[in-house]
Amino acid sequence: MLTQDISILSDSIQKSTPYSPLALQTSLNNLIRNVLPENYDDPNITRTRRHLGKVAEKLSDEQLLCIISEFQFLVNSWLDEYEKGVFAGKTLREIINE
């Protein structure tokens, strides 16, 4: 199906084959749907929803992404502070890059 849609579109572009506008539109829509599915779920959002349980039902995907990025920032900051305390004011990344 995907290769057929690509073939119809490429033939139309290269050879100016007279396909109906409806056939071209359908092929283009099928191609886009196969390449970029609408029901793509971000694994981070899915995992966060599973961990939060009922609380996550009240939150939108955008709100969950915000929560995820804020927690990631906090975890990275806390880890950097801990590493600086252990390794004389340097993080592991700084030590490795020396």
Q: What's the pLDDT score for residue 74? A: 94
**Could you tell me if 93 and 55 lie in one domain?**
yes
* Number of domains into which the chain is organized: 2
- Please give the C-alpha separations between residue 49 and each of 34, 37, 55, 69, in angstroms, as whole numbers: 26, 21, 8, 14
**Could you tell me if 59 and 91 lie in one domain?**
yes
Which residue, among 24, 22, 43, 20, has the nearest Cα to 32 in the 3D structure?
A: 24
**Could you tell me if 62 and 90 lie in one domain?**
yes
How does DSSP classify residue 91? -
Q: What's the pLDDT score for residue 23? A: 63
Residue 63 CA to residue 65 CA, distance in Å, equals 5
Over the stretch 37-54, which tens digit does the pLDDT of each residue have?
Answer: 555 567 888 899 999 999
* Phi, psi for residue 14 in degrees, rounded to 5: -75, -40
Over the stretch 72-95, which tens digit does the pLDDT of each residue have?
Answer: 999 999 999 999 999 999 999 899
pLDDT for 15 beyond 60: no
Question: In percent, how much of the chain has pLDDT > 90?
Answer: 32
User: If you average pLDDT over each of 19-33, 40-54, 64-78, which comes out highest?
Assistant: 64-78
**Could you tell me if 10 and 49 lie in one domain?**
no
State which residues form the domain around 60.
43-97
